[in-house]
Amino acid sequence: MAEPLRIAGTAWMAAAALTLGACGLASPELLSAGNVERAVEQVDDHPEAAASLLDSSFRLGAIMLAGADPDENAVTSPVSAIYALSMLRAGAATTTAAEMDEVLGLPPEHRDEAMNALLAVWQEHDGDPGSVDEDEPPETPLLHLADGMFVDRGLPVGEGFLDTLASQYGSGVYLVDYSDSSTARAINSWISEHTGGRITEAPVEYDPDTVLSLINTVYFAAAWETPFDPLDTAPDAFHLADGGTIQTDLMRHMTVANYASGAGWSAMDLPYNDGFHMRLILPDEGESPVMNADQLADVRVGMESGTSVNVGLVLPKWDHQYYQDLRPLLTAMGLTETMGLAPDFSPISDNLFVSGVAQDANITVAEKGTVAAAVTQITMGESGAATPDVELVFDRPFQYQIIHDETGMPLFIGTMMDPR
């Protein structure tokens, strides 16, 4: 048995190395909390917190889409983003914690327990992404989520934070050496393994000054309840937002589906087998497909009271990927302290700041079903200095002096009136 490793007072046992031997990479050391068991939580035990996380996910998803390039196809994973941010919130304190709760709309109580309960429900559909033939999406939907914290061996990590990761998030904790470039390849291999090879690189560029990285992956694969007939797929016109028209393959299908319409939209739910559906929202002509949180809430309410009708569906095939730097977006939302240089992440470790937040996602939709994957990464660095007691901002005319230490004689004295 491996010797106990103590991180900020908690005994964590070296459990098993990540299987990367085939890649010829040094394996990150996987740790497990030897004295912490995964808590058993039910969504019904925390209904208000779970509902709050649902609202937060849609709100964040709306903002992520609104922040995308309007000329690009965008695919995002709000679940992956809110999951990673919830892990970060578990390590926040004081004003940083309050800011995250307010800006992201996170529940003030039982946030971690509700995330644990939601993950338990999702894990009912868990499976190995590597087993999926993407040309034949599985009849039984597969939803695989994984999260891990990759921490530099030299960083002391708070006991309470590690215990929360173990008891509520089931997160693996990997000891790595960020000064060794092979760590980047090892993290990429972990991401590839948990996304079935659909994503092979971390979304945040490798930086040897990183001391901690929180990563969440989501992989989904499912066949339609009723597949489209490939013989009905044919090229036809697709009208672009700028008024242009292109020819693309359009699938055709007659199906019974939940349908509703509202101010500026019509929508239907296209079911997969066993517990999942794709909600397709068509804006009125001239309206944007990018909706704010209130509009998305209107769609949710409308679809809850939708009507089962026969729908003649014409839908394009698509295969898209999208990268998004989330740090400026989250800062613009109001997470100025959280994304700044002096946040309070003391439950994780002293003097940490968020150095990067990004998401990579992709999706393939065709006649037989859907395969999609996403990875969200939050990296952290050390500020190297405590929060200053006094801040001086030289943004107006000032004097300077160059003084000899031993004699105190002023070698130069000057004024800076205009830096141009």
In this structure, what CATH number is given to the domain that contains residue 357? 3.30.497.10
What is the count of structural domains for the chain?
2
Task: State what percent of residues in the chain have pLDDT above 90.
Answer: 62
Whether 219 maps to a domain, the answer reads: yes
Do residues 157 and 87 both lie within one domain? yes
Query: What CATH number is given to the structural domain containing 293?
Result: 2.30.39.10
Q: How many CA atoms lie within 13 A of 176 on its CB side?
A: 30
The H or E element containing residue 406 is none
Whether 229 maps to a domain, the answer reads: no
Q: Beta 277-283 vs 307-316: how paired, if at all?
A: unpaired
Do residues 265 and 174 both lie within one domain? no
Average model confidence (pLDDT) for the chain? 86
Give me the pLDDT at residue 245, please. 87
pTM, full prediction: 0.87
Do residues 108 and 206 both lie within one domain? yes
Give me the pLDDT at residue 223, please. 94
Do residues 242 and 342 both lie within one domain? no
Report which of residues 389 and 37 the model is more confident about. Answer: 37
Do residues 353 and 330 both lie within one domain? yes
User: Tell me, what amino acid is at 305?
Assistant: S
Adjacent-strand bridge partners of 191: none
Q: Give the model confidence (pLDDT) of 267-304 as tens digits.
A: 989 889 988 999 999 888 888 888 889 998 998 999 89
Whether 403 maps to a domain, the answer reads: no
Whether 216 maps to a domain, the answer reads: yes
User: What is the mean pLDDT of the segment spanning 333-344?
Assistant: 94
Do residues 292 and 328 both lie within one domain? no
Do residues 172 and 91 both lie within one domain? yes
Whether 43 maps to a domain, the answer reads: yes
Sheet holding 29-33, edge to edge: 4-7, 10-17, 29-33, 172-176, 142-152, 210-223, 369-382, 352-365, 318-325
Give me the pLDDT at residue 68, please. 84
Do residues 158 and 284 both lie within one domain? no
Which residues form the domain of 31?
4-223+319-382
Which backbone phi and psi does 160 adopt, to 5 degrees?
Answer: -65, -40
Whether 15 maps to a domain, the answer reads: yes
Q: Give the model confidence (pLDDT) of 130-150 as tens digits.
A: 999 999 999 999 999 999 999
Pull the structure tokens for residue 168. 């509520």
Do residues 169 and 271 both lie within one domain? no
Do residues 157 and 304 both lie within one domain? no
